[in-house]
Structure 1
Amino acid sequence: MATPEYTPFVFLLLLFQSSVWGFPVCQTPQESPTCGYKSCHATKPGMLNVHLVPHTHDDVGWLKTVDQYFYGDRNDIQHAGVQYILDSVVDQLLKNPDRRFIYVETAFFYRWWKQQTDDMQNTVKQLVNEGRLEFVNGGWCMSDEATTHYSAVIDQMTMGLRFLNDTFGHCGRPRVAWHIDPFGHAREHASMFAQMGYDGFFFGRLDYQDRNRRMVAREQEMLWRASESLTPPMADLFTGILPNGYNPPEGFCWDQSCDDPPIRDDPDLEDYNVDDVVTRFLHIAHGQALVYKTNHIIMTMGSDFQYENANLWYKNLDKLIRYVNQMQSNGSEVNVLYSTPSCYLQELHRANLTWPLKGDDFFPYADSAHDFWTGYFTSRPALKRYERISNSYLQTCKQLEVLGGPISRKGPFGAGDSETLKKAMAVAQHHDAVSGTEKQHVANDYARKLANGWAHCQVPTIYISLLSVSMFLCQFSVNVYNPLARPVSWPVRLPVNGTAYRISDAKGKAVDSQVVPVSQATAAVRRGRGYAVNELLFQVQAPPLGYSTYSVSLLQNGPPSPQSSPLPRAPKAVQNKFLRVTFDPETGLLSSLSNLETQQTVKLSQNFYWYNASDGNNSESIQMSGAYIFRPNTSTPFIISKTAKIETLQNSVVQEVRQWFSPWVSQVVRLYTDSRALELEWTVGPVPIGDDLGKEVISRLDSSINSSGVFYTDSNGREVLQRRKDYRPTWNLRQSEPIAGNYYPINSRAYIKDDKDQLTVVTDRSQGGGSIQDGSLEIMLHRRLLYDDVRGVGEPLNETSDIYPEGLVVRGRHLLSLSPPATAADTHRPLAQEVVLQPLITFTDGELHPSTRLEFSGLQAVLPPAVHLLTVSQWDQDTVLLRLEHQYQASESKEHSQPVTVNLQKLFSTLDVLGVSEMNLSANQWKDEMTRLDWKKPLPKRGGDPSVWEVSLKPMEIRTFLLRVRQR
């Protein structure tokens, strides 16, 4: 029970624990005399300067778990031990001051750093201060770009960069973003990197046709204009494509995992090969120079988990530099040097050239004609959903640690408990984590880490499970916390055995509720793990950044009432005051969707299909479908059933049409009384493989909308990009895979439209999809494959579990809205936001203490609809990290695509804001001190005057602040 003095926070404190990083507020950087651009080796004008970049690419989980990779365990799977790499590199850097090394993944470096002695830490700090060890990218991991949500990416980047800033100061700040392995590149990532203060961005993978064209045109380096809304150069980012992915040139790999011969430079010994090595290197360097614009080229000297014995690399690189440069005395115009990506970038900047502009993204990625890496947009759909709801839970935890004040940091786990979930979520953003491209035991480990993080964000002795509350208690409370900055209305469904309940809201007012029988599909999914026969349905309202409490009392036990039983037939229509949905009486399928407010109607059918996954036995290509690659054997999917078995359930809270298409595919078409969106809750699995065929299961919507081969997808949950069938904006596409080559990542929503109608689908996780026919939108739900796609994982994507040994069952939701194109964003933006940051529902047994406050908002007033509270997080003891986001694009909404102003002093109801300083997006630099290389014109600075409380936000702008606060 709550005590009176803590009643405003009773549920905050009972159900959550906070964490406070032990890092101080970002200090004003002191200019180092040698690090950064000042530490670069001199180059030679008039020569071809070859920048050798020693590096290692250390996946934060892939074939082995994060822990196994760090310690070097399970080398029977892959020989890799990150701790030994860092040990060895530091040792070798100390032997020659000319040597350089870059490191990327802060998650690994953080672990290694904690194990070092004070002397070793001081040694490493000196290497960093001298620019000999340089951090690039600097996030907790190198995130995936297709399946990650921007809020989680910002969090993981902030975590990694904060550690580097706190540990190494100015010299630890990366100047270059480095995504050498992700499988396609999102425009929103480039926009975020620009706003984080990076001067440039380098990556390794792009479509083979795109690369070929760019090589001929010498356009492998460009200026990426990564936002249509932000004023240039705010989201402009210089971007370079690396020549060999992230590998060294052929024949020049000198790691213990490589087979290339070392440089044998004693003429008195057998197999002297210096002349051959120099000749081959010069040939490669001159060839590479032909496809880049300046007299500077870059070579990545390293690869996956290399440099465990750094002496092998550095001994040969020292010789390579010496012998190639000796040829200058014979007229050679090639100069080789140890370098870093930032030093290479500096030389490109000094060239003062005009660079081509790019405005779209780098999806989809194909490495040859039949090898499109579009399968991972959907791979491991259950893990993708778990990651998404974990992100929502983490944002809630961070808010509550701020709103709850110091008392909230005194829990059974001690201070810092939510740090576990922060780290788990950061690791989950890795390009072989949420992407679904890891081995099964590694996917299990990611899920385990997330579950452990959840446990540390709550008080387990107080938290009561949903099933035990609703099934066995006669009286309990439902506590609904809303992490959004506006009120939400949310449907609640609780498993119960009772048949009648009395529900009252925080003001004591009765709430309409209904009890309905559990569907056959839900009972089947449970596999005997739950015994509730009914579901209790009611609608809740929650204030912005706050909670509301609903009291529930059992009125009647017994069998379900006859009027609550579903009817075994399809209705002609279901409707509320906003939408009307009709069904074909013969097939039981959707037939139309109407917006009653705007008097719009479109023909609309929906069904489930599956593509036969290629097994590689094909005359055109031996490529199989796998975790990465989607390759159907035919362009025509197989329909699962042309008709659906139907049950209809209608009451005052919800109308449901329950559809069964096969023993392994079912769906509920659901319309709540006050909803502007139609819900399609699909259940797929176990996907049958008795016919020895892998299957890729889709939901397809076919409408009367004249979409003209165009559809739209979001980029990491933010800005929307136009997609056109069989088309790429930057080259003339030769389409070789008509299905897979037209699939794109859908992180939160996609839509088709014509002049009158826009049909939007909001997803509850990242998925792949496309518009193969006009008026059609298909989204891949589940993949079960029998072959590996030969991209390194070494096992098929064939998910099973102890509960589902015959194949994983996955359930999810699509929300459909129909609007005029001019106003559609006013519906789908907030709808997608509610799915990403959904209310958190918890439970309390018995009657509440009379002094318990049943409703609370952490805001003084509702924020304008255009404003999203992206981040509210405890930064230091008296400091809060705040991000405010304008969530509309320019010209997207007549009403909301306008600048908006927020007063920081009038924001929180429980905090007095005493001071404010503006940061860059990743909160590792003061905004007014953030300078970037000027590729066109000076970057405008925004002041951090603490006397200015009025914050203006333009469309798509995110502004980040450190607030000095006092608890009221």
Structure 2
Amino acid sequence: MAARSQQLAAALLSLLCGVSCFPLGQETKQTLTCGYESCHATKPNMLNVHLVPHTHDDVGWLKTVDQYYYGDRNDIQHAGVQYILDSVVDQLLKNPDRRFIYVETAFFYRWWKQQSSSMQQTVKQLVNEGRLEFVNGGWCMSDEATTHYSAVIDQMTMGLRFLNETFGPCGRPRVAWHIDPFGHAREHASMFAQMGYDGFFFGRLDYQDRARRMVKREQELLWRASNSLTPPMADLFTGILPNGYNPPEGFCWDQSCDDPPIRDDPDLEDYNVDDVVKRFLTIANSQAMVYKTNHIIMTMGSDFQYENANLWYKNLDKLIRYVNGQQANGSKVNVLYSTPSCYLQELHRANLTWALKTDDFFPYADDAHDFWTGYFTSRPALKRYERISNSNLQTCNQLEILGGPVSRKGPFGDGESQTMKKAMAVAQHHDAVSGTEKQHVANDYARRLANGWQHCQVLVSNSLTALSGSSAKRIYCDNLNISVCPLTESSKKFSVNVYNPLARPVAWPVRLPVNGTSYVVSDAEGKSVDCQVVPVSTSTRDVRRNRGFAVNELLFQVQAPPLGFTTYSVSLLQDGPPPASTQHRTPTAIQNKFIRVTFDPDTGLLSSLSNLETKQTIKLTQNFYWYNASDGNNKESNQPSGAYIFRPNSSTPFIISKTAKTESIQTPVVQEVRQWFAPWVSQVVRLYGDSRALELEWTVGPLPIDDDLGKEVITRLDTSIKTSEYFYTDSNGREMLQRKKDFRPTWNLSQSEPIAGNYYPINSRAFIKDDVDQLTVVTDRSQGGGSLQNGSLEIMLHRRLLYDDVRGVGEPLNESSGVFPEGLVVRGCLRLSLDRPPSAADAHRPLAQQVVLQPLLTFTDGDLHPNTQLEFSGLQAALPPAVHLLTLTQWDKDSVLLRLEHQFQSQESKVNSHPVTVNLQKLFSTLEVLGVSELNLSANQWKDDMTRFHWTPQTDEKPLLKTFRDSSVWEVTLRPMEIRTFLLRVSFR
């Protein structure tokens, strides 16, 4: 049995790492001096200054990814990543003392593929000697406010896998490095800890927080990033860099810099070595005063620097030589080439205790009126498209496995899913989904996602064909949200295949554009399904323009099996009943057996919300408002609102309308109240027959700018809930964090922007509560929001601004498109649920997952072949409610990567906040699991091999990671908020 286990482990390691990785048991025989072994010696009785040569290469920002790589469009920004890597490698070879770190695998992967085999061997040697070191290592440096944790894990896995397969253990980063994101999420820290990083460095934090930390010497700390995971599982040592990611003032020697070089010929009139050394020693000693040890770090580089690395290294060599030369005269400063991991190792060796942090670093402000909270909502259409693309990618990954090898046959070769994976990975960049890029770059991100989905559609069609036995052509309708689908609009008979990417059954409403007035819908068993035809709303006709011509919509509820599909047949009835008619009045109420919603007949607005199961009712009014954006021309500050920064020119928003014009539809399938607030704001309040959540489908735009003022549009929910100024938001779609108005848990806030300074990222949900009631709002994309008065929750929906906010992007956030040249129109949906606080999570967590991973609809025209399999599930049984199947993706020919997560926090639910056991051998219906081995979260280390530095917090407690043993190799137990990653060797049954 032991020999078999060793053989299995060796086989799995080969699958995991590829041929470049060291086989088990041979790693110690290699002469590797990378990582901590490659660090230069320091001097214990001196101030050691760690110089870190680096470049920060945005994966798109002012230029597209391609333009940045090739050095194109230098009229926008002089930057060419391929030349940076060429130049750095050349300079590293000239002096073995030199070091360089590289971060963005998306760029390095592209460069590596273009190198000769001899150059690749040279670079491998530099990596093996620790002279070129990878830090962070994800495909990109992701945003932390507007990214969903599942997409972040995917992009990190992609980058780290390439490094692992290419360079083996020396390619594995030891340090997470987020030097540019605009605020930092607790869930990111938790993920980095579970990925095996020893530490995390970043550059941006609130100016008030930094000032306090400098005084207390707490710019290096221990971040406890989960309330549920047993310490130190989610503990991450975190360092705040002294100069953002730039060099100290006066010490920039790139071709884009203006600082003078070190002129060290004493016969020259402008000899400046003495001045350089004096200034450097002053800066170093000053920096040492606000850090805790006799080691300090200096980032020597910046945006797209080192294109001519000779400039940097020639001056850094001199700086080290001349500063260290002063030691003979009694100087106590020692300068050395270093890396973040070498600096981290010295901090660990100091064996100190560190301040403990348990909240996050939002919101971020770099001055009194400069809160970077606008990007939480910027480019809302792109944010929604990224979220849909994530759902499509997970479906593509799953069906690639469930459908077998035939899924990958198509016009794009065997890599249909890779294009989508790379597009989604790039979209996580902190100037992508964040919305802080130039417009032409945003268009490029969207184009990449569209191209990726086109590739994945081939794979999905192949897989569904294999699983169903039907070779009928599959049609995809990607514009159903605006009631556009040419097939359903014209066909008299068609079928709808509904694939559910969740590992539990899902009930989901389907809305299809049709031109008939009556239809019959049958499920996979041939049973008739309740359906309803309703007229397309005026706002939908307005927003779709000439892209579709359906006059009606067909509505019915589908029931989809876990990790599988079901099929519904739709036929036009010639003499059926007419469609539901609209009533031009405001109903008193709409309700089903779970929810009751009342309206004020005078205003047409919501007035209350009731949960009929729990017999609770709250007052609830909802309306739309806008903040006029500051143009930067006032006495307090010249800071305008822009892509990054939210700065309203008044604390009181303008109400768009105190009343709503309404019409209503009430049927057994759906009840709708359609509201119009202005020509550019409308909404549908919608309640389906079996739903426990109320839908608010909003349509906003084009935002009017005739008054020459930018506008930031919000919706606000005002309730009778007694919140005491507290509210709650999710962190990257996972754990919930408590927020309080005008308050920060770790310092005494001096609030200067009462609106923008109280906005937080809402990635998938937020709630307000008291002891009796909890109102949860689930969003369909990342948005910004806050609770600015008791019982209130506001969410920003759309922004249109006329000024640049002077943070580098160089253009106002004034979106338009070919369809909307007069300004962008955006549509989205909020889902509201009312519950008792102890049990609310049982409802909102599954709902949030369902919104993130929505069923995929595909269509076929006419009758299906009689032998078609109409229903399929990839699981033998649904997973328990507490367990979410996070990842199922092809890893290698005979192996798949599986992630299972416990989706509840500890003590969050009386029912679901308990350990759950899953049997991996009894999981899949079409796959036989032959072997299993557990990995860390990013799948670049065996779980048992993952060792991390231990750090001691400034508390009396001594946290120790409890060791839990599964009952068998096949039965795995998940505890609250735990994600477990497995490599499975499989065969098809």
| TM-score, shorter chain, exceeding 0.5 | yes
1:688 to 691, 704, 727: 704
Compute the displacement of 1:22 (Å).
Answer: 10
Q: In the alignment, what sits opposite 2:555?
A: 537
Q: Is the 8 A contact 2:928 2:987 kept in 1?
A: yes
Q: In the alignment, what sits opposite 1:859?
A: 875
Q: Secondary structure at the residue paired with 1:594?
A: strand
C-alpha deviations, 1:421-452, integer Å up to 9, x for none? 00000000000000000000000000000000
Q: In the alignment, what sits opposite 2:491?
A: 473
Q: Is the 8 A contact 1:397 1:457 kept in 2?
A: yes
- The residue correspondences of 1:775-854 to structure 2 (distance < 5 A) are 775-854=791-870
Compute the displacement of 1:294 (Å).
Answer: 0.1
Q: In the alignment, what sits opposite 1:246?
A: 245
Q: In the alignment, what sits opposite 2:906?
A: 890
Compute the displacement of 1:939 (Å).
Answer: 7.0
C-alpha deviations, 1:207-239, integer Å up to 9, x for none? 000000000000000000000000000000000
The whole-number CA distance in structure 2 between the counterparts of 1:267 and 1:116 is 42
Q: Is the 8 A contact 2:21 2:167 kept in 1?
A: no
Q: Is the 8 A contact 1:21 1:419 kept in 2?
A: no
Q: In the alignment, what sits opposite 2:480?
A: none
Q: Is the 8 A contact 2:486 2:548 kept in 1?
A: no
- The residue correspondences of 1:612-651 to structure 2 (distance < 5 A) are 612-651=628-667
Q: Is the 8 A contact 2:609 2:619 kept in 1?
A: yes
Compute the displacement of 1:408 (Å).
Answer: 1.4
1:959 maps to a residue whose letter is: R
Shift in CA distance, 440/946, structure 1 to aligned 2, threshold 3 Å? farther
The whole-number CA distance in structure 1 between the counterparts of 2:23 and 2:757 is 48
The whole-number CA distance in structure 1 between the counterparts of 2:984 and 2:120 is 32
Q: In the alignment, what sits opposite 1:212?
A: 211
Q: Secondary structure at the residue paired with 2:73?
A: coil
Q: In the alignment, what sits opposite 1:953?
A: 974
Q: Secondary structure at the residue paired with 1:356?
A: strand
Q: Is the 8 A contact 1:298 1:344 kept in 2?
A: yes
Q: Is the 8 A contact 1:932 1:939 kept in 2?
A: no
Q: In the alignment, what sits opposite 2:116?
A: 117
1:596 to 603, 612, 626: 612
1:670 to 686, 689, 703: 686
Give the number of equivalent residue pairs: 947
Shift in CA distance, 735/945, structure 1 to aligned 2, threshold 3 Å? closer
1:587 to 599, 603, 610: 603
Compute the displacement of 1:532 (Å).
Answer: 0.5
More moved, 22-31 vs 444-453? 22-31
Compute the displacement of 1:526 (Å).
Answer: 1.0
The whole-number CA distance in structure 2 between the counterparts of 1:411 and 1:27 is 34
- The residue correspondences of 1:143-162 to structure 2 (distance < 5 A) are 143-162=142-161
- The residue correspondences of 1:374-773 to structure 2 (distance < 5 A) are 374-459=373-458, 462-466=473-477, 467-556=485-574, 561=578, 564-773=580-789
How large is the RMSD of aligned CA atoms in angstroms? 1.5
**Percent sequence identity over aligned pairs:** 83
- The residue correspondences of 1:195-234 to structure 2 (distance < 5 A) are 195-234=194-233
The whole-number CA distance in structure 1 between the counterparts of 2:99 and 2:646 is 39
Shift in CA distance, 740/567, structure 1 to aligned 2, threshold 3 Å? same
Shift in CA distance, 194/523, structure 1 to aligned 2, threshold 3 Å? same
Q: Secondary structure at the residue paired with 1:824?
A: helix
C-alpha deviations, 1:241-290, integer Å up to 9, x for none? 00000000000000000000000000012200000000000000000000
C-alpha deviations, 1:544-578, integer Å up to 9, x for none? 000000011111389x93x6121000000000000
More moved, 524-533 vs 734-743? 524-533
2:493 maps to a residue whose letter is: Q
More moved, 541-550 vs 929-938? 929-938
Q: In the alignment, what sits opposite 1:8?
A: none
Q: Secondary structure at the residue paired with 2:226?
A: coil
1:167 maps to a residue whose letter is: T
C-alpha deviations, 1:787-824, integer Å up to 9, x for none? 00000000000000111011000000000000000000
Shift in CA distance, 424/23, structure 1 to aligned 2, threshold 3 Å? farther
Shift in CA distance, 68/21, structure 1 to aligned 2, threshold 3 Å? farther
Q: Deviating runs (4+, > 3 A) in structure 1?
A: 20-29, 460-463, 936-947
Q: Is the 8 A contact 1:628 1:791 kept in 2?
A: yes
Q: Is the 8 A contact 2:21 2:169 kept in 1?
A: no
Q: Secondary structure at the residue paired with 2:457?
A: coil
- The residue correspondences of 1:922-961 to structure 2 (distance < 5 A) are 922-936=938-952, 940=961, 948-961=969-982
Q: Secondary structure at the residue paired with 1:574?
A: strand
- The residue correspondences of 1:328-343 to structure 2 (distance < 5 A) are 328-343=327-342
Q: Is the 8 A contact 2:499 2:857 kept in 1?
A: yes
Q: In the alignment, what sits opposite 2:482?
A: none
Compute the displacement of 1:33 (Å).
Answer: 3.1
Compute the displacement of 1:738 (Å).
Answer: 0.2
The whole-number CA distance in structure 2 between the counterparts of 1:163 and 1:716 is 25
2:487 maps to a residue whose letter is: V
2:752 maps to a residue whose letter is: S
The whole-number CA distance in structure 2 between the counterparts of 1:96 and 1:669 is 67
Q: Secondary structure at the residue paired with 1:761?
A: strand
Q: In the alignment, what sits opposite 2:135?
A: 136
The whole-number CA distance in structure 2 between the counterparts of 1:441 and 1:413 is 27
Compute the displacement of 1:786 (Å).
Answer: 0.2
- The residue correspondences of 1:323-362 to structure 2 (distance < 5 A) are 323-362=322-361
Shift in CA distance, 939/133, structure 1 to aligned 2, threshold 3 Å? farther
C-alpha deviations, 1:634-679, integer Å up to 9, x for none? 0000000000000000111100000000000000000000000000
C-alpha deviations, 1:48-95, integer Å up to 9, x for none? 000000000000000000000000000000000000000000000000
The whole-number CA distance in structure 1 between the counterparts of 2:17 and 2:267 is 59
Compute the displacement of 1:587 (Å).
Answer: 0.1
Q: Is the 8 A contact 2:230 2:961 kept in 1?
A: no
Shift in CA distance, 902/24, structure 1 to aligned 2, threshold 3 Å? farther
Q: In the alignment, what sits opposite 2:8?
A: none
Q: Is the 8 A contact 1:401 1:874 kept in 2?
A: yes
Shift in CA distance, 759/223, structure 1 to aligned 2, threshold 3 Å? same
Compute the displacement of 1:943 (Å).
Answer: 9.0
Q: Is the 8 A contact 1:324 1:335 kept in 2?
A: yes
Q: Is the 8 A contact 1:716 1:748 kept in 2?
A: yes
Q: Is the 8 A contact 1:498 1:557 kept in 2?
A: no
1:501 maps to a residue whose letter is: Y
The whole-number CA distance in structure 1 between the counterparts of 2:204 and 2:940 is 28
Q: Is the 8 A contact 1:497 1:557 kept in 2?
A: no
Q: Is the 8 A contact 2:17 2:165 kept in 1?
A: no
Q: Is the 8 A contact 1:917 1:944 kept in 2?
A: no
Task: Extract unaligned runs of 5+ from structure 1.
Answer: 1-19
The whole-number CA distance in structure 2 between the counterparts of 1:827 and 1:544 is 18
The whole-number CA distance in structure 1 between the counterparts of 2:552 and 2:374 is 37
Compute the displacement of 1:533 (Å).
Answer: 0.5
Q: Is the 8 A contact 2:966 2:972 kept in 1?
A: no
1:528 maps to a residue whose letter is: N
1:554 maps to a residue whose letter is: L
The whole-number CA distance in structure 2 between the counterparts of 1:678 and 1:946 is 42
Compute the displacement of 1:202 (Å).
Answer: 0.1
2:75 maps to a residue whose letter is: D
Compute the displacement of 1:946 (Å).
Answer: 12
Q: In the alignment, what sits opposite 1:90?
A: 89
The whole-number CA distance in structure 2 between the counterparts of 1:76 and 1:215 is 39
The whole-number CA distance in structure 2 between the counterparts of 1:556 and 1:155 is 49
Q: Is the 8 A contact 1:916 1:944 kept in 2?
A: no
Compute the displacement of 1:413 (Å).
Answer: 2.1
